[in-house]
């Protein structure tokens, strides 16, 4: 072995001592939070996964924090890396920074959608998942040439979210890495007309099931945030996954990956005559057309962040601002 290899092995041995003669592996995971502007993201992590008391500030671009947990006394602490992409869909190119070929095996994505803004919901979801999936697929394509066994393992793991005897096994298209979809601001959403709630809930159930994702609705209620904590802790620290499920559209949804089915979700919520007029190449496209008929989408440009962060008092720096004003003048 080279000198550096010996040095690395020595450090690992010191940091990860044997327990009862068995090697103790440090669990290390990464999670990227994406979603609506001003959505509830890292505050969930701060309050419930990391037990931190400070109130997180709104994310400007790409925010990073981490958490550590010890499984047992006198054992190395497991590490979870948390990233949050700010700006909604305006900074999509930054997604490629936290997700790399070196951490792809231990990466997960949490998509936070604002249930109180259904007209932005599909566009936001589609853009963020599309860009993330394209980037992950590029990494997997490279791994197929350099480390084919790793690429195969990642793909098979996502397929395993559904049992092979599940009736929908061949009908879904799992996201390439673990995905959780969080519907935030349930307290506002709960005041919507019951039919509107049903359409949004059924649509998100279908999308989550189609992508092999977990789905949970939450608000500032501690009981609902606790359910989010269960899912985040499962992704971050490998805690047991909850097997409880709630599919009642009149209540907050909580559906862990693999526990739903197309037969339970039912067809897209529209009349048979309207359904017959819609042309779609995939089931996902059909659900999109039905959803957008009720909730016409805002254009992608409308969702871009138009505020200039340089004018935000939160980021004021006297020397820099004086020079900037001088330059502008």
The full set of domains in the chain, from first to last, is 26-294 (3.40.50.300)
Non-local CB neighbours of 38 within 8 Å, separated by 6+ positions: 58, 114
The angle at the Cα of 176, spanning 304 to 248, to the nearest 5 degrees, equals 75
What does the block give as tokens for 211?
């992508």
Indicate the SS3 state at residue 266: coil
- The pLDDT of residue 14 is 63
Taking every pair of Cα atoms in the chain, the longest distance, rounded to a whole number of angstroms, is 72
- The pLDDT of residue 57 is 59
E strand intervals along 230-296: 254-255
Below-50 pLDDT ranges, the chain: 19-24, 40, 47-49, 302
- The pLDDT of residue 187 is 92
Q: What is the pTM of this model?
A: 0.80
């Amino acid at each position: 072995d080279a000198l550096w290899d010996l040095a690395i092995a020595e450090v690992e041995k010191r940091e990860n001592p044997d327990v009862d003669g068995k090697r103790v592996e440090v669990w290390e995971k990464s999670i990227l939070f994406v979603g609506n502007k001003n959505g509830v993201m890292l505050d969930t992590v701060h309050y419930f996964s990391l037990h931190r008391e400070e109130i997180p500030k709104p994310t400007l671009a790409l925010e990073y924090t981490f958490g550590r947990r010890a499984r047992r006394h006198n054992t190395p602490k497991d590490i979870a890396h948390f990233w949050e992409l700010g700006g909604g869909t305006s900074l999509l190119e930054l997604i490629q920074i936290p997700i790399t070929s070196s951490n792809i095996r231990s990466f997960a994505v949490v998509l936070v959608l604002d249930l109180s803004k259904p007209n932005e919901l599909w566009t936001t979801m589609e853009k963020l998942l599309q860009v993330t999936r394209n980037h992950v697929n590029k990494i997997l394509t490279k791994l197929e040439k350099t480390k084919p066994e790793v690429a195969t393992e990642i793909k098979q793991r996502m397929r395993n979210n559904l049992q092979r005897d599940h009736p929908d096994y061949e009908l879904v298209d799992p996201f390439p890495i673990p995905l959780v979809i969080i519907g935030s601001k349930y307290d506002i959403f709960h005041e919507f007309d019951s039919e509107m709630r049903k359409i949004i809930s059924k649509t998100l159930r279908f999308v989550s099931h189609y992508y092999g994702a977990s789905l949970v609705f939450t608000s500032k209620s501690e009981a609902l945030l606790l359910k989010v904590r269960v899912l985040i802790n499962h992704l971050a620290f490998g805690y047991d996954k909850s097997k409880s499920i709630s599919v009642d559209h009149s209540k907050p949804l909580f559906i862990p990956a693999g526990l739903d089915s197309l037969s339970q979700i039912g067809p897209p919520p529209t009349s048979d005559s309207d359904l017959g007029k819609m042309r779609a190449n995939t089931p996902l496209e059909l659900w999109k057309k039905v959803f957008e008929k009720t909730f016409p989408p805002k254009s992608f440009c409308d969702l871009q962040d138009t505020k200039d962060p340089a004018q935000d008092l939160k980021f004021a720096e006297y020397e820099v601002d004086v020079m900037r004003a001088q330059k502008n003048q």
